[in-house]
Amino acid sequence: MHRLLERQIVRATRASGELDLAALLRLVDAAYIEADRERDRSDRTALITCEEMDQLNTELRKLAHHDTLTGLPNRLSFAGFALRAVQRAKLGESFAVLLIDLDRFKLVNDTLGHAIGDALLCEVATRLRSAVREADDVARMGGDEFAIVQFAEQPQSAEILAQRLVEGLSLPYSIHGHELAVGASVGIVFAGPGVHDIDVLLHHADLALYRAKNDGRCTWRVFEPQMPTRQNGRR
């Protein structure tokens, strides 16, 4: 600051060497005003930069936890959903995990190309969102497989949802001038207060899903304890 004052003193000094105090005061006031303006500009720039960084951080978090194609939560998000579900189950709540796999989706990709297949997956995601309640968690696990965590009175609620999913996802799709017909198979597993391993639940839901596939597709099956033996026998 003393350097700023020195410059103003030089500017306020007359040719005779006499200091013009009035001019000095005016120059110092103007310098302070300009310094305040510069500080305000710097503060605004810093604020904008912070806001941009916050926005970028939010976008990066969204990208990390959401499927870029459909906008649904991804497998990483589903792990969080499942962990919270297990914690709630320990407090006495029951929930169901539903795995959904599209039927005849590979045929769409092979015959019409991945662009049509991607558009179909987006439409499937839209139908899934409309089929579940706000309290249900839905995610894309990868490929043409999706998963739902449903908190409700079980097992009736999960089977009602499964039926709604099978019917809704089996309705015709109109994608870029193509009329497409695919279906969906659903595997269901129920969990209560004793559950502690989500990987086991997913494995059981997967076994139920394969049972639905083997029983003719476009249907749902509930996990039964004897399924692992039967499934291993088929393998």
Q: Is 190 helix (H, G, I), strand (E, B) or coil?
A: strand
CA nearest 158: which of 103, 98, 107? 98
Beta carbons within 8 Å of 108's beta carbon, 6+ residues apart: 116, 117, 120, 180, 182
- 58/78 Cα distance (integer angstroms): 19
- Using left for φ > 0, alpha for ψ between -120 and 50, and beta otherwise, residue 167 falls in alpha
141 DSSP 8-state letter? E
Q: Which residues, 6 or more positions from 159, have their beta carbon under 8 angstroms from its beta carbon?
A: 188, 220, 222
CA distance 145 to 88: 25
If you count them, how many residues does the chain have? 235
Asked if 184 and 102 count as a contact pair (C-beta separation under 8 A), the reply is yes
Give the catalytic positions in this structure: 144
